[in-house]
């Protein structure tokens, strides 16, 4: 056994049952036990000055500086709807026809697939 044990914060000597800061109510624990609170909404570390209560500092951050946006979490990815009549598919990326300028789904992206009327030139199947 390595008894007695010396507290690295206050320098007092304790047994193994009382060496933890909480067990001997160490008055110097704040010097060693440094924790940075994290905002529960935006997950950003919040700097706390010595002597400040972390809960109050995090609450002030949430009220003033928090960048959390609940609408961001619910944004839909598939927002580009196919303009071919009867098609209800939506795509993540906009697929624009070079000839008519319409936005289509993958199935109807080629001019022959959506009966393109943007160009008077015949379109080859190749």
Q: Along the chain (126 residues), what's the average pLDDT of each consecutive run of 10 residues?
A: 79 87 83 80 86 86 83 68 91 88 90 79 53
CATH fold for the domain made of 76-118 = Zf-an1 domain (4.10.1110)
- pTM tops 0.85, yes or no: no
- Provide the CB-side half-sphere exposure for 2 (13 A, CA): 4
For residue 107, the model assigns a pLDDT of 92
For residue 50, the model assigns a pLDDT of 74
Please state the domain extents for the chain.
1-33, 34-75, 76-118
Nearest by Cα to 83 from 97, 65, 66, 69: 97
Compute CA distances 100 → 42, 63, 73, 97, 109, whole Å: 43, 49, 34, 6, 11
Q: Which class for 95: exposed (0-12), middle (13-18), buried (19 or more C-beta within 10 A)?
A: middle
């Amino acid at each position: 056994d390595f008894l007695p044990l010396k507290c690295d914060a206050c320098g007092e000597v304790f047994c193994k049952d009382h060496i933890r800061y909480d067990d001997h109510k160490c008055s110097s624990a704040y010097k060693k036990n440094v924790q940075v609170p994290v905002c529960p909404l935006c997950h950003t570390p919040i700097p706390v000055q010595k002597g400040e209560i972390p809960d109050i500092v995090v609450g002030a951050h949430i009220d003033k500086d928090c960048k959390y946006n609940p609408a961001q979490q619910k944004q839909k990815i598939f927002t580009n709807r196919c303009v071919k009549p009867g098609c209800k598919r939506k795509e993540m990326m906009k697929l624009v026809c070079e000839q008519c300028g319409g936005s289509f789904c993958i199935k109807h992206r080629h001019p022959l697939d959506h009966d393109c009327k943007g160009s008077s030139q015949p379109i080859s199947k190749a």
